[in-house]
Amino acid sequence: MSRSSCHLFLFLLLFSLFPFPLLARPFVLVLSQDDLKDVQNDDASPLDSDSSLDDDDFGGTHVKPDDELDPGSWRRLFEPPTTLLSPSHDTSLDSYYAAVHKIISASNNGDARLMEEAAAEIETAANTDGDPHARSVLGFLYGMGMMRERNKAKAFLNHYFAAEGGNAQSKMALAYTYSRQDMHEKAVKLYAELAEIAVNSFLISKDSPVIEPIRIHNGAEENKEALKKSRGEDDEDFQILEYQAQKGNAGAMYKMGLFYYFGLRGLRRDHTKALMWFLKAVDKGEPRSLELLGEIYARGAGVERNYTKALEWLSLASEHGLYSAYNGMGYLHVKGYGVEKNYTKAKEYFDKAADNEDAGGHYNLGVMYLKGIGVKRDVKIACKCFIVAANAGQPKAFYQLAKMFRTGVGLKKNLPMATALYKLVAERGPWSSLSRWALESYLKGDMGKAFLLYSRMAELGYEIAQSNAAWILDKYGERSMCMGESGVCTDAERHQRAHSLWWQASEQGNEHAALLIGDAYYYGRGTVRDYERAAEAYIHAKSQSNAQAMFNLGYMHEHGQGLPFDLHLAKRYYDQALELDPAAKLPVTLALASLWVRKNYADCFLVHVIDSLPEVYPRVEEWVENVIMEEGNATILTLFVCLLTVLYLRERQRRHAIAAAGAHEPNEHVVPAAR
């Protein structure tokens, strides 16, 4: 592959990390000529310290339990182990989990006394015993201002020492804090470590389905459609699917296996049930189950690990045209698991997968060329392979591109880009289980528990958790069981906390959050009224092509609030809002009519009526979306049109009268008094 063709390929490439919609909008990465580093293929530039010339980057089948990958996790409280713990287990954790259990119960019931008791126990374990997991929770309490004064410095120190003690969630919280402050050297180091943990849990053959945190709201309304699909075994559609599977439908059996294996649609992962359904599906002739059975035996998920059986299942899958199965076969040959190590045969399998447009095949070839495993090392080819894989949504490829941006191998060093890519991968680590527990609590109506879990996850930098927690505060108020510094949150504490959460979500591209931040500053809700900062927030939302933000900016220009009084700019924003959202035709039409009245009848009483509307309806957004469209408000619209008609007829009558009198310079801004 020539250098010029590689450069052209990269220069023209535009890809979106679509499978990771943890941001409000898809993360878009554009690589240009400036991003490329002109390196020779024998370049001795060092890779990451964890990227020596070996075969580790193919991923691993040596998957550790989530409790080992995420020490101090609350999994024991939400997913109790099915087997009894060994008598030799760490008894110091018993008191830690007992305190956390009290925190969860107190949050769900609004019990301030129990919360204070639990917070005191956590503080003792953190400061006296030096327990890193207790320090992590104490950092959370200080960061949120729960039964302790809200203190970012104390929150940071506790998370720092917890991370030093091995707590992964505190590492996530620290990395997010560093990235917000543009301290990319520190952020990238932590995110790289966490991303590696996540990558090692991915499948060896095909891409794992992306289990997204569910956004429980859609703008100002509950996201009923998404919630309906997340009710697990209580969902009617799932029950129908289960019935079909029990009646012998092979496709339904395969889907049942998928749901249980990956924990989709709100189900708890259950490898035993997944294995049962996959085996039944194979017996009914469903070939897609063959590949998953190969994965199960290679990883030892619910069964004793058996590489020979894994290769047999994967080989059968490849014979049925499941080209991603070649990746698993190639992996076994690279590692020498169940077969003799053979790099040549491994490359042949990866080539077959890549030739059939399988993202995993491109990724694995990229690793071979990057490390010089079985082929001559060629960083340029590796870079191309990773980009193709990333363009298809392969998370391991994001990880490798992050390494390249971090080290400057193959791509020019770019720590902000490396940080962003590592973060996307790290957020798929085992700590993401917080989202599943929060959603389960929300669906059960346990708002306090849901809010606590989303708040904990928000601290780790998950945008959806930030917006979910803020939405619960706004939607449910006192029912959110928000805990403040000395008890259940006051109204002021709720507004302040919601404002902080929305602000963090807006920083990560959530346009609805930016709108709400703008509204908060515009109306002085939970903060000091500040039209200029409101305009900044609306401009941030507008940058993401948000019609409501366009409308609000037009309104502020029309009234000179936080922005220069400019009717021409106001009209431009109103027009753009209509271009972006045809459903805005009525409010935009009314706004344009308002501009016409303001321009031609600046002192007319109708202008004062128009100006008073935002005071009568204290939210511009609600006024536009709800008030004008509600049943019964047709009268308001009719009166508005009638007034415009009267003004127009009077103006025409006045012009005719002046023309008949021979006047040459009529004053267009004077309206004769009614007789």
pLDDT (average), residues 61-69: 70
What percent of the chain has pLDDT above 70? 76
Residue type, 383: C
**CA-to-CA distance for 49 and 330, rounded, in angstroms?**
25
Return the pLDDT at 24. Answer: 36
| Backbone φ, ψ for residue 669 (5° rounding) | -100, 5
- The CA–CA distances, whole Å, from 54 to 40, 49, 193, 510 equal 20, 12, 18, 40
Among 52-66, 253-267, 609-623, the range with the most confident prediction by mean pLDDT is 253-267
Residue 562 · residue 532 · CB < 8 Å: yes
pLDDT at 229: 81
The tens digit of pLDDT for each residue in 358-414 reads 999 999 999 999 999 999 999 999 999 999 999 888 888 999 999 999 999 889 999
- pLDDT above 90: percentage of residues in the chain: 48
pLDDT tens-place string over residues 633-659? 555 555 556 666 666 666 666 666 666
Tell me the pLDDT band of 632, cut-offs 50, 70 and 90.
very low
Higher-confidence position of 382 and 670: 382
Q: Which residue has the tokens 């924990």?
A: 263
Half-sphere exposure of 473 (CA within 13 A, CB side): 29
pLDDT at 167 over 60: yes
- Residue 85: predicted pLDDT: 43
- Of residues 120 and 51, more confidence is placed in 120
564-589 average pLDDT score: 85
More confident residue, 308 or 37: 308
- Give the pLDDT mean for 280-297: 93
Query: Given a cut of 80, is residue 27 above it in pLDDT?
Result: no
Question: Comparing C-alpha atoms, which of 453, 542, 530, 539 is closest to residue 499?
Answer: 530
Per-residue exposure over 465-484, b if at least 16 CB sit within 10 Å of its own CB, e if not: bbbbbbbbbbbbeeebbbbb
CATH of domain 66-76+94-201: 1.25.40.10
- CA distances, 245 to each of 127, 256, 258 (Å): 54, 8, 13
Q: 585-600 and 605-616 are packed helices; what angle lies between their axes, rounded to 10 degrees?
A: 140
Give CA–CA dist 353/364, Å, rounded.
Answer: 10
User: Residue 30 above 70 pLDDT?
Assistant: no
36 touches 411 (CB < 8 A): yes
Question: 């009234």: which residue's tokens?
Answer: 559
- Looking at residue 21, its pLDDT comes to 34
Inter-residue contact 514 to 524 (CB < 8 Å): no
**What average pLDDT does the segment 147-155 reach?**
95
Same fold, 66-76+94-201 and 217-430: yes
Which single residue is written with the structure tokens 């009166």? 639
Helix axes 463-476, 511-523, angle to 10 degrees: 40
Give the three-state DSSP class for 232. helix
Q: Please tell me the least confidently modeled range out of 115-119, 314-318, 610-614.
A: 610-614
What is the Cα–Cα distance from 507 to 537, expressed in whole angstroms? 10
- The predicted pLDDT at position 11 comes to 32
The answer to whether the Cα torsion of 82, 84, 88, 90 is positive or negative is positive
Q: How far apart, in Å, are the Cα atoms of 364 and each of 56, 131, 138, 295?
A: 11, 41, 42, 16
Q: Which of 287-301, 510-524, 536-550 has the highest mean pLDDT?
A: 287-301
pLDDT given at position 568: 87
- Its pTM stands at 0.79
Q: Is the pLDDT of residue 16 over 60?
A: no
The DSSP letter of residue 582 is G
pLDDT at 42: 45
What local confidence, expressed as pLDDT, does residue 449 receive?
A: 96
DSSP state of 200: T
Closest CA to 207 of 424, 21, 27, 392: 392
217-430: in CATH 3.40.50.880:
no
User: What distance in Å separates the CA atoms of residue 2 and residue 655, rounded to the nearest whole number?
Assistant: 76
Cα Rg of the chain (Å, integer)? 30
Q: Give me the pLDDT at residue 628, please.
A: 47
pLDDT of residue 533 exceeding 60, the answer is yes
- Cα–Cα distance measured from residue 462 to residue 325, given in angstroms and rounded to the nearest whole number: 33
Pick from 138-142, 488-492, 499-503, 566-570: least confident = 566-570
Q: Amino acid identity, residue 123?
A: E
Helix axes of 585-600 and 547-559: crossing angle, nearest 10 degrees: 10
pLDDT at 45: 47
E strand or H helix at 30, and its extent? Answer: strand 28-30
Mean pLDDT of the chain: 81
Q: How confident is the model at residue 504 (pLDDT cuts 50, 70, 90)?
A: very high
- Exposed / middle / buried, residue 66 (Cβ in 10 Å: 0-12, 13-18, 19+): middle
Q: Which residues pair with 218 in a beta bridge?
A: 221
Structure tokens at 389: 């894989």
Long-range contacts from 364-370, C-beta under 8 angstroms, 24+ separation: 364/58, 364/327, 364/330, 364/331, 366/397, 366/400, 367/55, 367/57, 367/58, 367/400, 368/343, 370/47, 370/57, 370/400, 370/410
For 334-342, what is the mean pLDDT? 91
User: What pLDDT shows up at residue 301?
Assistant: 82
Residue-wise pLDDT tens digits, 413-454: 999 999 999 999 999 998 998 998 999 999 999 999 999 999
Domains in the chain: boundaries: 66-76+94-201, 217-430, 446-602, 603-650
Q: Which fold has domain 446-602?
A: 1.25.40
With contact defined as beta carbons under 8 Å apart, do 305 and 61 qualify? yes
Tell me the one-letter amino acid at 342: N
Which pLDDT belongs to residue 114?
A: 96
